[in-house]
Amino acid sequence: MLGDFLKALLQLGDKPFRRVMLIGVMLSLALLVAVYAGFLALIQTFTPDAIDIPFVGPVGGLDTLLSWGSALFMIGLSVFLMMPVASAFTGLFLEDVAQAVEDRHYPALPPVPRLPLGDALVDAANFFALLIAVNTLALILYAFAGPFIPIVFWLVNGLLLGREYFTLVAMRRLGRAGAKALRKRHWGKVWIAGTLMAAPLSVPFLNLLIPVLGAATFTHLFHRLNVRE
């Protein structure tokens, strides 16, 4: 798996990689900015100009204080939001990354038809919804995990990321049913690879680059496992 990742890292400067990375970063940041702008609008709408405190009198500037607090809150929240957001957006363009990897490392492979844009949008939306739903439910586990919260977070999301990325890469060559069958036969390796992808995704700013590297790494992993079948 380390070799797969190093191959992906060495190809990071390729034009298709840069394009997908730039689009993913721009879309992810745009969504976060939109969410934060909506959050600020709610604060300004529902926060009074001043509140009366007994023995002190009216105190203003509460909306400004909450706005600064919300900025810190959004920075922390981005650790959890950026993973599903960046991963889902990159999933829309995963075929470009996989094709670039195959063009360089597996040039003898026959061409494959592109997944229709509508299907790609549906898959990305379903994946995003699944990540949000599972991470919401995982909050219950986090309450009991204590200092092991990061490990639980990586394992849960590693399972989802490995499942989704490997399936999307493999179905280009094997179809959906064949991709699922191959994934089930190698579920442990796929989970480990997904977990190794999830860990750096929890690091702000670095998490904007990892989905592209992850898509390339899973392309190498798929071809390595498929050739053994």
The string of DSSP codes covering 136-154 is HHHHHHHHHHGGGHHHHHH
Domain ranges of the chain: 2-226
Q: Which residues contact 128 (CB under 8 A, 6 or more apart)?
A: 84, 85, 87, 88
Gap between the Cα atoms of 38 and 124, Å rounded: 23
Q: How many CB atoms lie within 10 A of CB 30?
A: 12
Strand runs labelled E in the chain: 50-53, 57-60
Consecutive sets of 10 residues in the chain, 229 residues long: mean pLDDT of each? 83 82 76 73 61 49 53 62 66 81 90 76 77 78 80 86 88 89 93 88 74 88 83
Q: How far is CA 215 from the centre of its chain?
A: 11
> DSSP assignment, residue 107?
T
pLDDT at position 188: 93
